[in-house]
Amino acid sequence: MGNKAAKLSKEDLKELLSKTSFTDKQIKDWYKGFIKDCPSGELSRAKFLDMYQELFPDGRAKSFYQHVFRTFDADDSGNIDFKEFLLAISITQSGNPEQKLDLAFKLYDIDRNGMIEEDEMCEIIKAIYLMVEDDPKKADQGPTLRTQHIFHQMDLNRDGKLSKEEFVKGCLNDKDLFQLLTCSNDQQQQSKSVNNVNGNDDEDDDDEE
């Protein structure tokens, strides 16, 4: 976008009004803030990760937000422009379940071939575990077991990969899977979903006994 980023075009504004939940004023306010932080009109990977480093200074979320950046960068340019940014923000903040699952599918489909392979899901779930799980042993072993469990539930034709239809249907039929795989809640609730997906929500009770 370069120097053209000085002003939001009427075409872009019209598109964002039709595709997001934001008002005219809200879009313009978001744009002012975006350009203030990114004068070039594009958010680089390094700056994106720096922003989340401030929110998660222990570095545990870095791997996950590298994948978030890839998902937001819809045209795979290596940068996020304002439209890409706001379209994704709108979905994460107020999108319906189908919109959130569409974005989540893109998160897990790392190679963008239209299918989610088991190793791709395992990589993302491992990044989630690193972000929310305090027990290093669970963070190391849990993702593989969790991925196997999810594929057993979702992979209806047993071909070793998930189509978008299988992914969406599986998440809509299971609240805990939806919360885990869309990453649509805070870290405390995300951690609870990690435990609940495979029926582990009573582990603490067993420890207390």
Whole-angstrom Cα Rg for the chain: 18
- Reported as a pLDDT band with limits 50, 70 and 90, residue 119 is very high
pLDDT value, residue 7: 84
Task: Decide whether 10-93 matches 97-199 in CATH topology.
Answer: yes
For residues 194 and 133, the answer to whether their CB atoms sit within 8 Å is yes
Average pLDDT over residues 158-174: 95
Where do we find the tokens 């598109």? 15
> How many Cα atoms occupy the beta-carbon half-sphere of 204 within 13 Å?
5
- The domain locations on the chain are 10-93, 97-199
CATH topology of domain 10-93: Recoverin; domain 1 (1.10.238)
For residue 14, what are its two tokens? Answer: 């019209």
| Main-chain phi, psi angles of 162, to 5 degrees | -110, 125
Q: What is the rounded average pLDDT for all residues in the chain? A: 85
Over the stretch 16-53, which tens digit does the pLDDT of each residue have? 999 999 999 999 999 999 999 999 999 999 999 998 88
Average pLDDT over residues 135-142: 68
pLDDT value, residue 181: 86
- Reported as a pLDDT band with limits 50, 70 and 90, residue 180 is confident
| Main-chain phi, psi angles of 45, to 5 degrees | -60, -45
For residues 24 and 17, the answer to whether their CB atoms sit within 8 Å is yes
Confidence check: pLDDT of 86 > 70 = yes
CATH 3.40.50.12160 fits 97-199, yes or no: no
Strands (E), the chain: 42-44, 79-81, 116-117, 161-162
pLDDT value, residue 177: 87
pLDDT value, residue 58: 84
